Structure formats: structure tokens, C-alpha cells
Structure 1
């Protein structure tokens, strides 16, 4: 991947994180990236997610935690911007 494209993609992720949850720290961006990728795979290849979940139950639990955290941050962000 070209360096310039990588930087542009990183900028997209940063803005997406900011708009989604109101934070674009490195930790939050990594969680948003994992959530987005997992969500896309779950919608397009649910059997793969089922297989992965069976192979790695601990990782599935971690993913559930990330999904819940992103959901809570998004709800909090939406409430704070709708005031």
C-alpha cells in the first residue's frame, strides 16, 4: 500500500471515529476499526464469523466488549450533540 494512501485512509478512520463516538484517540480508532471490520464480515459472511467464534471464544468475548463500548460511546455522543 502506498504511503500517501495509507495516510489518507488513516484520516478517514480518524474522522469516522470522531463522528461516530466523538473521539479519535489511537485506542478508539483501533476499536472502531475492529468493530467496522467485524460488522462488515458478519453481514457479508456470517458463517465465517460463526467459525471464527467457535475457534476463538475469548476473542469473541473481547469483540462483544468492543461492540458494546462503541455502542455506548455512540449513544453518549449523539445525546451530547443533540442538545
Structure 2
């Protein structure tokens, strides 16, 4: 993959993370990337995600926690913006 594309995509992910959560760093970007990809896969290939969840119940719980964290951070950020 071309380095320029990686850098441009990283900029997109950085901006998306900032708009979603009101802040960004490498850890948050990785969490948002995992959340977005998992959400997309669960909608586009539910049997695959179901199988993965059954194979790795601890990872399923980790994803549930990550999804909840993203949701809570997003709600908190939106509430702060609406004040």
C-alpha cells in the first residue's frame, strides 16, 4: 500500500475520531477503527461475527466494552457541545 494513502487515511481517521469523541490520540484512533470495522462487519457478514464471538467469548466481551466506551464518550462530547 502506498505510504501517501496511509498518511491520508490516518488524517481521515484522526479527524473522524476528533469529531466523534472531541479528542484524539493513537489509542482512541485504534479503538474507533476497531469499533467501526467491527460494526461494519457485524452488519455486512453477521455469520462471520457470530462465529468469531462464539470462538472468542472474551474478545466478544472486550468488544462490548469498547463499543460502550465509544458510545459513552460520544454522548458526553455531544452533551458538552449542546451546552
TM-score by length of 2: 0.98
How far apart, in 2, do the equivalents of 1:42 and 1:32 lie? Answer: 15
TM-score by length of 1: 0.98
Q: How does 1:4-83 map to 2 (within 5 A)?
A: 4-83=4-83
Which aligned segments of 4 or more residues in structure 1 are displaced greater than 6 angstroms? Answer: none
Task: Tell me the matched-pair count.
Answer: 83
Q: Larger relative contact order (C-alpha < 8 A, sep ≥ 6)? A: 1
**What runs of 5+ residues in structure 2 fail to find an aligned partner?**
none
SS in 1 for 2:64: helix
Please, what is the CA RMSD of the aligned residues? Answer: 0.5
**What runs of 5+ residues in structure 1 fail to find an aligned partner?**
none
